[in-house]
Amino acid sequence: MRYVRIERQGRPCWGVVKGEEVLTLSKPPFDGVEYDGEKLPLSQCKLLAPCVPTKIVCVGKNYSEHAREMGAEPPGFPVLFLKGLNTLNRPDGALHAPEFVTRLDYEGELGVVIRCRAKNVKAKDFADYVLGYTCLNDVTARDVQQHDGQWTRGKSMDGFCPVGPWVTDDVDSSALKLVTRLNGEVVQRGNTADFITAVPELIEFITASMTLEPGDLVATGTPAGIGPMIPGDRVEVDIEGIGVLKNQVI
């Protein structure tokens, strides 16, 4: 299924995409789908971020080639950091950095949305805890990240985490092609088969330290090819079997 969140009469509402329609739900889909009987044309729906996390847990350097382009050796374990909830942004939402930012980067990533409370999960059981997968852009003020020596400010400016267009449970996360396009040109080409730590082991690693809640979001790391965006640029994160997340820099 493809789960979306849309704005209906000014309020957020969950739905399931079927063909060109959204079938709206009477409650979030975490413990089963309950339709409320309404159908809306997908093309006329304003899509929201398809999750409401209590935290956004990100993995740094989960592709060897990206670690090397950042001047680091691939780490021996997942390096975690958090993005603030103020970063959550929607499909087609505008990306904007304060004027003092001199380098604003895209990072196309696979996002994992958690279905139910997860603590001390074993890798073999990870699927029981996952609602599905989505596209995510871990937008980064690279100059600020490097200046500060740690990542909070550079990773957590307002709107720096667009997610969507929906969450799907119809894909296997172990080998998905990921492409990032800037103004239509391919700038990142990766495959989740190249993760240093794959999704099942990531869920085990994260939940050994922190409880994940329904709707929490895990950003799984970006492949090589990161680069800058400027106002006017259109950025797309396209993951096989999921869809395309589109945003514009203003």
**Footprint of Mg ion on this chain (CB under 5 A)?**
107, 138, 222
Q: Between residues 200 and 221, which has the closer beta carbon with respect to Mg ion? A: 221
Q: Which residues touch 131 (CB under 8 Å, ≥6 apart)?
A: 3, 29, 30, 51, 113, 114, 115, 167, 169, 214
What residues contact 100, with CB distance under 8 A and at least 6 apart? none
**CA 208 to centroid of chain Cα atoms:** 21
Residue 169, number of CB atoms within 10 A of its CB: 15
The CA–CA distances, whole Å, from 182 to 80, 94, 107, 229, 247 equal 27, 15, 11, 8, 10
Q: Do 156 and 87 form a contact (C-beta atoms < 8 A)?
A: yes
The least CB distance from residue 221 to Mg ion, in Å, is: 6
Q: How far is the CB of 235 from Mg ion (least distance, A)?
A: 14
Supply the minimum distance, in Å, between the C-beta of residue 170 and Mg ion.
Answer: 24
Distance CA 169, CA 30 (A): 12
Kindly tell me the burial class for residue 149, based on how many C-beta atoms sit within 10 Å of its own C-beta (0-12, 13-18, 19 or more).
exposed
CB of 146 to Mg ion, least distance (A): 14
Q: Pick the closer one to Mg ion by CB: 107 or 238.
A: 107
Measured from the CB atom, the residue of 26 and 152 that comes closer to Mg ion is 152
Closer Cβ to Mg ion, 45 or 242, answer by number: 242
**Whole-number minimum distance, CB 160 to Mg ion, in Å?**
10
Name the residue nearer to Mg ion (CB basis): 23 or 105. 105
CB of 44 to Mg ion, least distance (A): 33
The helix (run of H) or strand (run of E) holding residue 154 is helix 152-155
- CB nearer Mg ion, residue 22 or residue 198: 198
- How many Cα atoms within 13 Å fall on the side-chain side of residue 170? 13
Q: How far is the CB of 79 from Mg ion (least distance, A)?
A: 10
**138 or 204: CB nearest Mg ion:** 138
**SS3 label, residue 14:** strand
- Which of 205, 194, 238, 219 has its CA nearest to residue 63? 194
The closest residue (CB) to Mg ion is 138
Distance (Å, whole) CA 6 – CA 154? 29
